[in-house]
Chains A and B, each alone.
Chain A
Amino acid sequence: AQSVAQPEDQVNVAEGNPLTVKCTYSVSGNPYLFWYVQYPNRGLQFLLKYITGDNLVKGSYGFEAEFNKSQTSFHLKKPSALVSDSALYFCAVRDSGYNKLIFGAGTRLAVHP
C-alpha cells in the first residue's frame, strides 16, 4: 500500500534561513508525489509535484523539492524562509492507479522573525 511519512510534527526556522520539511514515501510502482500548504481556516494550496523527469522540482512561492529515489524521500525546501511561510505543510502520494491522494500527517512550520 502507498504511504507517506512526515517525521517532524513541527519545524522552527529563523526568517532568512533555509528551511527543509521532510517527507519519505513507500509506493509500489511509480511515485507521484505532491506538496500542499494549509493556512488557518483555509483549504489546501498546491505547491508542487513530482511525476517524472528532473529530480529537483520547482514550485510556487519559491519552494522546491528534491526527489531521491534511493532514499525514498521528497523533501520540501526553500532557500530563505519568510514569516508568512508559517503554515501546515502536507506531503501526499497518489494511490496506485487511482485519482486519490494519501496524505502524511502534516508538519507545522514556524518561521520566527
Chain B
Amino acid sequence: KAGVTQTPRYLIKTRGQQVTLSCSPISGHRSVSWYQQTPGQGLQFLFEYFSETQRNKGNFPGRFSGRQFSNSRSEMNVSTLELGDSALYLCASSPGLAGGTTDTQYFGPGTRLTVL
C-alpha cells in the first residue's frame, strides 16, 4: 500500500497570507490527524477528522482549520499567517474505527512551512 502523502513538501509565505496543505491517507484509512512540529513546542496535535467530521481538536486558534473529503483526503488551512506558524506540519492516517484509540497512526513526510 502507498503511504501517507502530503503536498506541497515546502512552502514559503509572508505574514498575513493564508496557506492550504493537503494530505492523502493510506487507502482504506478514514481518520486523518494533523500535528504541528516546532523546535520550541515539539509535536502538538491540531485536529482529527473522521468521515468528513472533525472528531477532536487541539488548543490552536481558530486561524487553523481543516476539512476532510468523501475520499478521506484532508486539507488544513492557516489564515493570517504569523511568524510563529513556521513549522513542520505532519498528517497521520489510521483506520479510525471504534474511536481509533488503539490504532497506529502512520505519518506522512510533512510540509515545511516558512513564514517570512
Give complex CA distance A100, B56 in Å.
8
Could you say which interface size class chain B belongs to?
20 to 34
- For window 1-59 of B, CB contacts with A under 8 Å fall at 4, 6, 31, 33, 35, 42-43, 45, 48, 50, 55-56, 58
Chain A residues near B108 (CB-CB < 8 A): 43
User: Is the beta-carbon distance between B45 and A106 smaller than 8 angstroms?
Assistant: no
- Chain A residues with CB under 8 A of B100: 99
Contact of A99 among B35, B43, B55 (CB under 8 A): B55
Shortest CB–CB separation between residue A106 and chain B, in angstroms?
Answer: 7
Kindly name the residue among A45, A51, A94, A100 whose own CB sees the greatest number of chain B CB atoms within 10 A: A100
Partner of B104, one of A46, A90, A102: A46
Give the A-binding residues of B (Cβ under 8 A).
Answer: 4, 6, 31, 33, 35, 42-43, 45, 48, 50, 55-56, 58, 90, 92, 94, 96, 99-110, 112
